[in-house]
């Protein structure tokens, strides 16, 4: 497995080795020993989620109030997503910055998102499917959202799908009214 830390501390990409033959392929998608060696801590699995999205579906930016926080290990099973990680830890040197990785069903790469980081997925193909391991069960009272199109974050969202067709962004009602980064973290115009 190839592993690399993203530009945001606490976020990692994991790319498994695919073993293929005439029957298909096999991959070790998550291996505790390799995860702990790279990240330096265990992953406490509490819930597994799966979602399927049409091209243009944008889920996020979502995060869990920290503490308790929620870590995620996100894998694309089919199609492709732009996986975006945003640093929401006020004392971090990369607070308010973001990084992204394309995860897809061909490479089967995964992204680990530590507690205190925001996360968003943009589907780049119809029927894109992701599964994610979570360190905390769904707890609505800790759930938070940020506006994915907030100019203060400046996320460079793709405007076309994998085939070069224009994307129409599709967001939930909740995501459409998510607060700004500046309002959420009570920043002045000169902060950040």
186 among known catalytic residues: no
Provide Rg for the chain, Cα atoms: 16
Using CA atoms, how far residue 131 sits from 52, 81, 112, 159, 187, in Å, is 9, 12, 12, 24, 34
User: Rounded to 5, what percent of the chain is helix, strand, coil?
Assistant: 10, 40, 50
Evaluated on CA atoms 18, 118, 71, 10, the torsion sign reads positive
- Among residues 98, 102, 78, 103, the alpha carbon closest in space to that of 88 is found at 98
- Selected catalytic residue, list 19, 119, 132, 186: 132
25 among known catalytic residues: no
- Selected catalytic residue, list 62, 63, 73, 119: 62
Interatomic CA distance for residues 33 and 3, integer angstroms: 13
- Residues annotated as catalytic (active site), given as ranges: 62, 132
């Amino acid at each position: 497995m190839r592993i690399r830390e993203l530009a945001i501390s606490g976020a990692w990409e994991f790319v498994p080795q695919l073993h293929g033959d005439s029957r298909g392929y096999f991959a070790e998608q998550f291996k505790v020993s390799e995860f702990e060696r790279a990240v330096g801590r265990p992953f406490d699995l509490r819930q597994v989620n799966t979602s399927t999205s049409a091209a243009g579906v944008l889920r996020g930016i979502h995060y869990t109030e920290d503490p308790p926080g929620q870590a995620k290990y996100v894998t694309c099973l089919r199609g492709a997503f732009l996986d975006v990680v945003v640093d929401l830890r006020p004392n971090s040197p990369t607070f308010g910055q973001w990084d992204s990785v394309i995860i897809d069903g061909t490479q089967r790469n995964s992204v680990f998102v530590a507690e205190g980081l925001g996360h968003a997925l943009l589907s780049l193909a119809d029927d894109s499917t992701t599964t994610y391991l979570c360190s905390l069960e769904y707890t609505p009272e800790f759930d938070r959202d940020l506006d994915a199109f907030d100019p203060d974050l400046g996320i460079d969202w793709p405007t076309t799908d994998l085939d070069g067709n224009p994307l129409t962004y599709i967001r939930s009602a909740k995501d459409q009214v998510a607060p700004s980064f500046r309002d959420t973290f009570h920043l002045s115009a000169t902060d950040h």
